[in-house]
Amino acid sequence: MRERIPVAVLGATGMVGQWFVRLLSRHPWFELVAVAASERSAGKPYGKAVRWIFPEEVPEGVRELPVVPPEPGIPGKIVFSALPAAVAGQVEEGFARAGYVVSSNARSHRYDPDVPLLVAEVNPDHLELIELQRRNRGWKGFIVTGGNCSTVQLVLALEPLRRRFGVEAVVVTTMQALSGAGFSGVPGNAILDNVLPHIPGEEEKMAREPKKMWGKLTPEGIEETGVRISAHCHRVATRDGHLEAVSVKLSRPAAREEIVEALENFRGLPQELGLPSAPKQPIVVRSEPDRPQPRLDREVGGGMSVVVGRIRPCPVLDWRMEVLGHNTVRGAAGGAILNAELVVAKGLV
């Protein structure tokens, strides 16, 4: 790839926005040429407008970029959206209409029948919806969305089992990191010496998104699958990395070694295509009794792998396991970048 593709980030000063900036600043295919955020920040150089959350400095080259309003006309062919859901819907449509490729982390368009809800290793064929989307809406550009952070890692971890044994039902309890709520989303006063047993909307997303991700592509859109997901969502005092305790009911019997083998050997289209953000091994299996742990395992594969451990029989459903994923990388910015890489590799940009 000779020239890098110009890209922009919408909502660039928030937590996920900053992850986009960080990951894009060293990207081999993409060149970050614009950072957009709400009016309050507009006009300032990004390095002044942002309350940078990472140890290293704001990347050179981005530091001086002026923050612009998130409106079509800004430079870039691809825009990555970390906008809050309240505004993402309309703004993203405006960009798609104007010819941009939108890779979104917002939930606004996830359930639109002609918008792919994409986990690059899981349902890359859903990109065919783009044609339908353009036809339906008369847009030059299009929108691709990624799933909710806690869904993405679950669906990715279960994908090899679904392919080989079928997945009928899942009971999953999440212990989600603070970063999933944005930088200021959870007060220290609320979480110190505490667990919050509720994350608004999260259980509903976890129940519904997999039905579409695992759904069948038809000429009219995605036919949702009937998988049943029962999610219990919690916020705990970790910084990054969602841990999920999973009980799963399979369609066909599976032996433990078959499960381990299926997970470890799983490779998706991003791995076949050698996409820059694709981890070599999407699913890493640990055999120690006390892994995965958020602090120790969240960075595996640059935060793009999911780590699975404690695979053992379930006395109620069929199998139990622990699944860990980096919520702001695989579950947000990194996932959306991988989706965009797939879009590029498919020749859609």
Q: Which of 83, 222, 243, 311 binds its own copies (CB under 8 A)?
A: 243
Angstrom distance (rounded) from CA 297 to CA 295: 6
**Locus of tokens 């809800």:** 117
Residues between 84 and 123 with contacts to its own copies, criterion CB under 8 A: none
* Site size for its own copies (CB under 8 A): 62
Q: Is the peptide bond before 75 cis (omega within 30 degrees of 0)?
A: no
If one asks whether residue 150 binds its own copies (CB under 8 A), the answer comes out as: no
CA 221-225-227 angle, to 5 degrees, is 155
Q: Which of 109, 126, 233, 242 is catalytic?
A: 242
If one asks whether residue 7 binds its own copies (CB under 8 A), the answer comes out as: no
Q: Which of 98, 245, 273, 348 binds its own copies (CB under 8 A)?
A: 245
Residue 34's beta-bridge partner residues?
Answer: 8
Residues between 305 and 334 with contacts to its own copies, criterion CB under 8 A: 309-310, 314-317, 320, 322
Q: Which of 293, 346, 348, 349 binds its own copies (CB under 8 A)?
A: 293
Q: Per-residue x/- mask for its own copies, residues 47 to 66, rule CB under 8 A?
A: ------xxx-----------
Let me know: does 231 contact 158? Beta carbons within 8 Å: no
Angstrom distance (rounded) from CA 55 to CA 75: 28
Q: Which of 149, 232, 234, 326 is catalytic?
A: 149
Quote the DSSP letter at residue 58: P
Angstrom distance (rounded) from CA 330 to CA 303: 6
Nearer to its own copies, 4 or 198 (CB): 198
Nearer to its own copies, 196 or 260 (CB): 196
Angstrom distance (rounded) from CA 20 to CA 17: 5
If one asks whether residue 254 binds its own copies (CB under 8 A), the answer comes out as: no
CB of 193 to its own copies, least distance (A): 5
If one asks whether residue 197 binds its own copies (CB under 8 A), the answer comes out as: yes
Is 242 annotated in the active site?
Answer: yes
If one asks whether residue 1 binds its own copies (CB under 8 A), the answer comes out as: no
Q: CA gyration radius for the chain? A: 19
Amino acid at 284: V
Give residue 80's region: left, alpha or beta (phi > 0; psi -120 to 50). beta
Residue 309's beta-bridge partner residues?
Answer: 322
The three-class DSSP label of residue 329 is: helix
Binding residues vs its own copies (CB under 8 A): 15, 53-55, 169-171, 173, 175, 178-179, 183-198, 200, 207, 228-230, 232, 234, 236-239, 243, 245, 247, 249, 289-300, 309-310, 314-317, 320, 322
